[in-house]
Amino acid sequence: MKRSSTAAMPDEADAGLIAAFDEALWLEDGLAAGSRSAYRSDLRAAACWLRARGETLGNASPESLRRYLAARGEAGGFGARSQARAQSALRRFFAWQARSGRRSDDPAATLRSPRLPRALPATLSDQQVDALLAAPDVDTALGLRDRAWLELMYATGLRVSESVTVAVQAYAPRQGVIQVLGKGGKERLVPVGDEAHHWLERYLRHARPSLAGGRADEALFLTQHGKGMTRQNAWQRLRRYAGMAGVRGKVSPHTLRHAFATHLLDHGADLRAVQMLLGHSNLNTTQIYTHVARARLKALHAEHHPRG
């Protein structure tokens, strides 16, 4: 948006309002300096645009604010998140004005927020998954447990809470399935797969009895104290193995769930089947993985296709 030189700064009244609003953000809300700076910047830009058109921010009408935001969007260089932040600054500013008695109305109350693109969930490549699964030392009881746990997580897409609370009796090796209690107390049967089955059998035969130590804990995955794994324990172990495997970035148990869903779709799985396996009640929740899969396929095409 081009601004005339006469509107390079807000007028004195608007500058005073912005300063008073900034002080209120600090005194009343304890807002961090970086957030307050962003609000000031957005409000000054709006005040300058309005001043160039003979208007002021303090007395802006709903229509003036809509015109400003429309012009901002048409100017280019501002993404949906930037537009959303600008609207947030205006809403907060005018709500403060109304609350403090400076205005009897709130011209920003009817502003519609732009639709923000959904962030694609972080996932792993096939090679990263292979390196991660191979990281535990399977010559130790805990290492064998962790290999079985990681294999199950990747083979089934379980949530971390589901994996650490699943009972040993829930695993049916002959049928090749595991019974999972998901969100809202909903049960589902999830196929385990040959590789995960292999490591679970090794764990159950060679590691779990020694970890149990004669105790009767029902959890499938036990700690060295014979108790079920916790979410915190699972996070710590996974982060350790991610470092050992050279997998950079933030890796969490949910990353394996994302990898499970994305890799299934990459290899042609039906979206509704993935929905059932993940335990999603709404297909829209699963739909995000099609975007992940599409993004990965585009990247592979760009890297390997002669005309990519």
CATH value at residue 274: 1.10.443.10
Same domain, 147 and 295: yes
Round to whole Å and give the CA distance between 258 and 264.
Answer: 10
Same domain, 292 and 175: yes
Catalytic annotation present for 289? yes
User: What's the domain range around 59?
Assistant: 5-99
101 Cα distance to chain centroid:
39
Catalytic annotation present for 2? no
Catalytic annotation present for 304? no
Catalytic annotation present for 280? yes
Same domain, 72 and 142: no
Per DSSP, the residues of 177-196 read: EEEEE-GGG-EEEEE--HHH
**How much is the pLDDT for 3?**
41
137 and 129 Cβ atoms separated by less than 8 Å: no
**How much is the pLDDT for 5?**
37
**How much is the pLDDT for 141?**
97
Q: Give the CA distances from residue 252 to residues 89, 124, 153, 227, 256, in Å, rounded to whole numbers and listed in that order.
A: 33, 11, 11, 22, 7
Same domain, 87 and 138: no
E strand or H helix that includes residue 171:
strand 171-172
Given the residues 159, 208, 237, 258, the one annotated as active site = 159
Same domain, 135 and 51: no
Round to whole Å and give the CA distance between 162 and 146.
Answer: 15
* DSSP 8-state code for residue 258: H
The CATH number assigned to the domain holding 73 equals 1.10.150.130
104 in a domain, yes or no? Answer: no
**How much is the pLDDT for 118?**
61
**How much is the pLDDT for 135?**
97
105 in a domain, yes or no? Answer: no
Residues of the chain with pLDDT below 70 are: 1-8, 76-79, 113-121, 281, 284-285, 291-292, 294, 296-308
Same domain, 294 and 151: yes
Catalytic annotation present for 159? yes
Given the residues 67, 254, 291, 296, the one annotated as active site = 254
120 in a domain, yes or no? Answer: no
| pLDDT tens sequence across 186-245 | 888 888 989 999 999 999 999 999 999 888 789 999 999 999 999 999 999 999 999 999
Same domain, 155 and 257: yes
- What total of structural domains would you count in the chain? 2
Round to whole Å and give the CA distance between 267 and 271.
Answer: 11
Given the residues 183, 206, 225, 298, the one annotated as active site = 183
17 in a domain, yes or no? Answer: yes
Same domain, 169 and 63: no
Which tokens is 216 given?
């009767």
